[in-house]
């Protein structure tokens, strides 16, 4: 019986490789028509053709930074929808303490998966989407420094997502991980009588490892691109703020993610091959926490710096003024990048670590408030006396600043040891970081999506729906996360599928806010899908009238050039061949 | 850029290899971690084969044969350590050695028996 199984698997794998080889042969066939290696065609690249392959092959084989940016974007948005639906199920479960919509263990699974999905499958990729599409355009590069590595980095993500979600698919005995995204040992080593020795946890760790490899490859690419591929006129002095944040973020990724990868491998070895890195008698429970948070805290800044870059970039366009104190925003970005590696143990104040160490981590954590506040004040002073236009991207930027202040100030309280000891592991912490990751990071992401939507799609979205989306989210997120802060003051612990009846009102409020955001999400989906398909075409390269205020930038110039070229020679596949009469 | 607007769009950038490099990694990892011989071998072949394709495409090597042989040597080293030292992960080691063997056969066979083409 077992032999038959092995044989079947062998045949299957063989067949799989043969199919790939056959497909490659077809692609190679197409490639043989291109002047490969003849050095004739154009420029240094040597493999130039007039067109990309068509259909699905185009997307599977592309190494063009704009296409890869779109792929990252589609992937990030899809993951955001998945993570959002997960949390909706959880919030409905929390409507009432006696609710039995889902089992407690399924709640734990969703809790784990929601966190990982939002941080690793939505947050990091959506930033990579903007960076891939825009950084080469902003710095005047033809493409990324390593286009193929760029493609590898993206294609590692879909298998990563499938592995992370593997437990939810009907695959025999495999169950979803219930370790929470922090994977604390000894629970995550599978020790004890629980069910976390299940292969579902291994698959999730492998998936996480893949997304880490992907992020590292991407970061190396961005560092190389920004340092070496800038056009002559782009100097360090006039490099735009978004590229600065991407450069800093890539540096953080380069130092943080390989450490996560190593720690995850150690965990896998402990679970499967009998090593004892994290056994109580060896590394103990603290080793994992130190390793994880040495990665985990910089990860927070990996996620927040580029969205801050988007806000610093977009907000001045609709304030009609240049970014106030540009230099100091850049210095603050770099300062946050450096300081972020010195604060990790503030996640561990309640573990009983040495109090003297604790004090130094508290001091550095509070010090981060300084560069963060510098940025916040600079955004506010940019708005001051500006010619403010409240377009949808601008609304999301202002929402970002507002939510970031709330998330940031609650964070300063948490950085203080005595406050942290009271509020540790309560909903206060959940409210704090959701203000930052949802209220700020996701808001900035949507500011970017709306702002560059005309460039990405060539069409305009419906403005009224965009504003409805913003207001449902602004009100919804503040109801939900403020309710969480109050719950935390009341002593409601994190991560539980049920609660004492006295917490019911604020849990119901939190669910109400979540429902409001769900409605806003539906409006946004409808708006983007319908506008992409049949929205009015953008007529010139300046859909936001930036020229009026002298705020026009490189990427829109590129967009305008592309439109003009497309109209002259009909060469762009986005324009219909008969000269674009589809009005 | 201004004299020839849209020029960068003509740098057709397409390569079939990255997708399969990225598929090869998880397949090989799954096979090795869960000790599934065939999956490990197939994943390693896919990974090393696609990398070879990419190296050739980028012009770092003229034919695929030598890079294949280099990957074979690397796999022999890793597989050897797993199978024959104190690490003692014998079946996993043999899977890696098998993949190395297949790559070595392809590399050496190709170098010896496939006629060299004139450069285009």
Q: DSSP string covering A126-194, please?
A: HHHHHHHHHHHHHHT-SS-SSHHHHHHHHHTHHHHHHHHTGGGS--TT-----STTTT-TTGGGT-SSS
CA distance linking residue A467 with residue A396, whole number of Å: 9
Q: What is the pLDDT of residue A91?
A: 96
Q: What is the pLDDT of residue A579?
A: 46
Inter-chain contact A160–B26, Cβ cutoff 8 Å? yes
pLDDT tens string A257-279 = 999 999 999 999 999 998 889 98
Residues in a beta bridge with A537: A459
Q: Output phi, psi for A537, to 5 deg.
A: -70, 145
Inter-chain contact B41–A13, Cβ cutoff 8 Å? yes
Q: Which of residues 62-91 of A touch B (CB under 8 A)?
A: 62-64
Inter-residue contact A281 to A189 (CB < 8 Å): no
Q: What is the CATH number of the domain that holds A136?
A: 1.20.210.10
Taking CA–CA distances from B36, the nearest residue in chain A reads A6
B35 in a domain, yes or no?
A: yes
Q: Which of residues 26-65 of A touch B (CB under 8 A)?
A: 27-28, 34, 36-38, 42-43, 45-53, 58, 60-64
User: Above 60 in pLDDT, residue A372?
Assistant: yes
Taking CA–CA distances from A140, the nearest residue in chain B reads B1
CA distance linking residue A440 with residue B28, whole number of Å: 38
> Which position has the token pair 């540096």?
A251
Inter-chain contact B19–A61, Cβ cutoff 8 Å? yes
**Alpha-carbon distances, residue A67 vs A130, A228, A551 (angstroms):** 11, 22, 26
Residues in a beta bridge with A493: A426
> Which position has the token pair 């949802």?
A438
For A500, the token pair is 């004492």
Which of B5, B33, B36 minimises the CB distance to A564?
A: B5
Q: Output phi, psi for A62, to 5 deg.
A: -70, 140
A193 in a domain, yes or no?
A: yes
> From first to last of its 120 residues, what are the pLDDT tens digits of chain B?
344 444 444 444 688 899 999 999 999 999 999 999 999 999 999 999 999 999 988 888 888 999 999 999 999 999 999 999 988 899 999 999 999 999 999 999 998 988 876 555
Q: What is the pLDDT of residue A1?
A: 57
**pLDDT, mean over chain A:** 90
CA distance linking residue B6 with residue A573, whole number of Å: 13
For A15, the token pair is 């067949």
Which of B14, B22, B59 minimises the CB distance to A155?
A: B22
CA distance linking residue B35 with residue B14, whole number of Å: 35
Contact list, A37 vs chain B (CB under 8 Å) = 59, 119-120
Maximal C-alpha separation, chain B: 65
For A286, counting Cβ atoms within 10 Å of its Cβ (0-12 exposed, 13-18 middle, 19+ buried), the class is middle
Residue A427 exposure: Cα atoms within 13 Å on the Cβ side: 22
Q: Which residue has better confidence, A8 or A579?
A: A8
Chosen for mutation from A2, A13, A268 (greatest number of chain B CBs closer than 10 Å) is A13
**What is the distance in angstroms between the Cα of A234 and the nearest Cα belonging to chain B?**
14
- Range A456-460 average pLDDT: 93
Residue B67 exposure: Cα atoms within 13 Å on the Cβ side: 19
Inter-residue contact B73 to B16 (CB < 8 Å): no
pLDDT tens string A502-520 = 999 999 999 999 999 999 9
pLDDT tens string A147-189 = 999 999 999 999 999 999 999 999 889 999 999 999 998 899 9
Range of the domain at B69: 16-113
Range of the domain at A72: 60-319
For A459, counting Cβ atoms within 10 Å of its Cβ (0-12 exposed, 13-18 middle, 19+ buried), the class is middle
**What is the distance in angstroms between the Cα of A162 and the nearest Cα belonging to chain B?**
11
pLDDT tens string A187-215 = 999 887 788 889 999 999 999 999 999 99
A332 in a domain, yes or no?
A: no
Q: What is the pLDDT of residue A28?
A: 65
Sign of the CA dihedral running A539, A570, A456, A387: negative
Q: Is the bond preceding A186 in cis, omega lying within 30 degrees of 0?
A: yes
Inter-residue contact A129 to A73 (CB < 8 Å): yes
Q: Which of residues 121-160 of A touch B (CB under 8 A)?
A: 140, 142-143, 147-152, 154-156, 159-160
Q: Helix, strand or coil for residue A502?
A: helix
For A13, the token pair is 């794998």
A562 lies within 8 A of chain B by CB: yes
Residues ≥6 apart with Cβ < 8 Å to A546: A317, A552, A553, A556
Q: Which of residues 155-194 of A touch B (CB under 8 A)?
A: 155-156, 159-160, 163
pLDDT tens string A213-229 = 999 999 999 999 999 99
- Range A373-392 average pLDDT: 95
Inter-chain contact A159–B39, Cβ cutoff 8 Å? no
Residues in a beta bridge with A49: B11
> Which position has the token pair 């025999």?
A172
Residues ≥6 apart with Cβ < 8 Å to A185: A191, A267, A270, A278, A285, A287, A288
- The proportion of chain A whose per-residue pLDDT surpasses 90, expressed as a percent, equals 78
CA distance linking residue A582 with residue A568, whole number of Å: 16
Which of B5, B14, B30 minimises the CB distance to A61?
A: B14
Q: Helix, strand or coil for residue A197?
A: coil
- The proportion of chain A whose per-residue pLDDT surpasses 70, expressed as a percent, equals 92
Using a CB–CB cut-off of 8 Å, the residues of B that contact A are 1-2, 5-6, 8-23, 25-26, 29-30, 33-34, 36-39, 41-42, 45-46, 53-54, 58-59, 89, 119-120
Q: What is the pLDDT of residue B118?
A: 59
For A228, the token pair is 């070496």
Pairs of CB atoms within 8 A across A/B? 134
User: Above 50 in pLDDT, residue A42?
Assistant: no
A327 in a domain, yes or no?
A: no
Inter-residue contact A250 to A222 (CB < 8 Å): yes
Cα-trace Rg, chain A: 25
Maximal C-alpha separation, chain A: 78
Inter-residue contact A475 to A439 (CB < 8 Å): no
Inter-chain contact B16–A147, Cβ cutoff 8 Å? no
Which of B18, B36, B120 minimises the CB distance to A148?
A: B18
CA distance linking residue A237 with residue A231, whole number of Å: 13
Q: Output phi, psi for B19, to 5 deg.
A: -55, -40
User: Above 50 in pLDDT, residue A239?
Assistant: yes
Q: Output phi, psi for A273, to 5 deg.
A: -120, 15
Residues in a beta bridge with A178: none
> Which position has the token pair 């704090």?
A432
Contact list, B39 vs chain A (CB under 8 Å) = 9, 13
Split at pLDDT 50, 70, 90, the class of A71 is very high
User: Above 80 in pLDDT, residue A62?
Assistant: yes
A472 in a domain, yes or no?
A: no
Q: For chain A, what is the domain count?
A: 1
A88 in a domain, yes or no?
A: yes
Inter-residue contact A182 to A296 (CB < 8 Å): yes
CA distance linking residue B57 with residue A320, whole number of Å: 48
Q: What is the pLDDT of residue A46?
A: 37
Chosen for mutation from A125, A561, A564, A569 (greatest number of chain B CBs closer than 10 Å) is A561
Which of B22, B42, B59 minimises the CB distance to A152?
A: B22
User: Above 50 in pLDDT, residue A13?
Assistant: yes
pLDDT tens string A109-128 = 999 999 999 999 999 999 99
Q: What is the pLDDT of residue A247?
A: 97
Inter-residue contact A412 to A367 (CB < 8 Å): no
Contact list, A561 vs chain B (CB under 8 Å) = 1-2, 5-6
A196 in a domain, yes or no?
A: yes
A2 in a domain, yes or no?
A: no
**What is the distance in angstroms between the Cα of A72 and the nearest Cα belonging to chain B?**
14
Chosen for mutation from B4, B12, B64 (greatest number of chain A CBs closer than 10 Å) is B12
CA dihedral A521→A527→A533→A538, nearest 10 degrees, is: -130
pLDDT tens string A530-581 = 999 999 999 888 999 999 988 999 899 999 988 888 765 544 445 444 444 4
CA distance linking residue A94 with residue A74, whole number of Å: 30
CA distance linking residue A200 with residue A176, whole number of Å: 5
Which of A24, A50, A63 minimises the CB distance to B13?
A: A63
CA distance linking residue A429 with residue A380, whole number of Å: 26
> Which position has the token pair 């992937």?
A75
Q: What is the pLDDT of residue A568?
A: 57
User: Above 70 in pLDDT, residue A406?
Assistant: yes
Taking CA–CA distances from B56, the nearest residue in chain A reads A37
**pTM of the complete model:** 0.91
CA-nearest of A108, A207, A100, A135 to A164 is A207
A557 in a domain, yes or no?
A: no
Q: For chain B, what is the domain count?
A: 1
CA-nearest of A569, A550, A554, A568 to B2 is A554
Q: How many CB atoms lie within 10 A of CB B106?
A: 20
Split at pLDDT 50, 70, 90, the class of A44 is very low
């Amino acid at each position: 019986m077992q032999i038959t199984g092995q044989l079947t698997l062998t045949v299957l794998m063989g067949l799989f490789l043969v199919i790939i080889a056959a497909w490659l042969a077809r692609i190679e066939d197409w490639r043989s028509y291109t002047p490969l290696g003849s050095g004739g065609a154009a420029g240094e690249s040597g493999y130039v053709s007039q067109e990309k392959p068509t259909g699905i092959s185009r997307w599977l084989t592309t190494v063009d930074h704009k296409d890869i940016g779109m792929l990252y974007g589609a992937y990030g948005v899809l993951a955001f929808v998945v993570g959002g639906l997960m949390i909706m199920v959880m919030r409905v479960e929390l409507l009432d303490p006696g609710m039995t919509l889902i089992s407690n263990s399924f709640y734990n699974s969703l809790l784990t998966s929601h966190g990982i999905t939002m941080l690793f499958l939505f947050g990091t990729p959506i930033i990579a989407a903007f960076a891939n599409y825009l950084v080469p355009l902003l710095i005047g590069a033809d493409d990324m420094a390593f286009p193929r590595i760029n493609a590898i980095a993206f294609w590692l993500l879909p298998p990563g997502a499938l592995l992370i979600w593997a437990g939810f698919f009907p695959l025999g005995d495999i169950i979803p991980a219930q370790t929470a995204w922090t994977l604390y040992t000894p629970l995550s080593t599978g020790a004890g009588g629980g069910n976390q020795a299940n292969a579902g946890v291994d698959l999730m760790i492998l998936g996480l490892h893949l997304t880490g490899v992907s992020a590292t490859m991407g970061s190396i690419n961005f560092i190389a691109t920004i340092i070496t591929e800038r056009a002559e006129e782009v100097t360090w002095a006039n490099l735009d703020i978004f590229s600065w944040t991407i450069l800093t973020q890539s540096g953080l990724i380069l130092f943080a993610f390989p450490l996560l990868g190593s720690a995850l491998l150690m965990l896998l070895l402990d679970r499967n091959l009998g090593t004892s890195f994290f056994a109580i008698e060896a590394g103990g429970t603290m080793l994992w926490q130190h390793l994880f948070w040495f990665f985990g805290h910089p990860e927070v800044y990996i996620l927040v710096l580029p969205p801050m870059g988007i806000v610093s970039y977009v907000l001045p366009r609709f304030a009609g003024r240049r970014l106030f104190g540009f230099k100091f925003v850049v210095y603050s970005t770099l300062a946050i990048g450096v300081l972020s590696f010195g604060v990790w143990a503030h996640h561990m104040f309640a573990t009983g670590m040495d109090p003297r160490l604790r004090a130094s981590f508290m001091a550095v954590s509070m010090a981060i408030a300084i560069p963060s506040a510098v940025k916040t004040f600079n955004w506010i002073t940019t708005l001051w006396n500006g010619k403010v236009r409240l377009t949808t991207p601008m609304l999301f930027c202002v929402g970002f600043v507002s939510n970031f202040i709330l998330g940031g100030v609650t964070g300063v309280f948490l950085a203080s040891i005595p406050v942290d000891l009271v509020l540790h592991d309560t909903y206060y912490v959940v409210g704090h970081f959701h203000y930052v990751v949802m209220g700020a990071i996701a808001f900035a992401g949507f500011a970017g999506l709306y702002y560059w939507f005309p460039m990405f799609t060539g069409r305009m979205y419906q403005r009224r729906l965009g504003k409805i989306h913003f207001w449902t989210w602004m009100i919804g997120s503040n109801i939900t996360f403020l309710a969480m802060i109050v719950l935390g003051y009341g002593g409601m612990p994190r991560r539980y599928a049920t609660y004492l009846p006295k917490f019911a009102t604020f849990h119901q409020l939190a669910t109400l806010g979540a429902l409001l955001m769900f409605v806003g999400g539906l409006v946004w989906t409808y708006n983007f899908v319908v506008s992409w398909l049949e929205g009015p075409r953008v007529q010139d390269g300046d859909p936001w009238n930036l020229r009026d205020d002298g705020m026009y930038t490189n990427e829109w110039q590129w967009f305008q050039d592309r439109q003009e070229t497309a109209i002259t020679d009909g060469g762009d596949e986005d324009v219909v061949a008969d000269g674009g009469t589809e009005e | 850029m201004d004299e020839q607007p849209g020029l960068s769009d003509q740098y057709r950038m397409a390569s079939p290899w990255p997708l399969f490099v990225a598929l090869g990694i998880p397949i090989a990892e799954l096979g090795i971690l869960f000790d599934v011989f065939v999956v490990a071998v197939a994943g390693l072949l896919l990974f090393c084969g696609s990398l070879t394709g990419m190296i050739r495409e980028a012009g770092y090597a003229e034919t695929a044969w030598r890079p294949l042989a280099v990957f074979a040597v690397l796999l022999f080293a890793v597989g050897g350590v797993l199978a024959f030292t104190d690490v003692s992960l014998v079946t996993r080691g043999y899977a890696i050695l098998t993949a190395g063997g297949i790559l070595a056969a392809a590399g050496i066979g190709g170098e010896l028996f496939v006629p060299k083409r004139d450069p285009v």
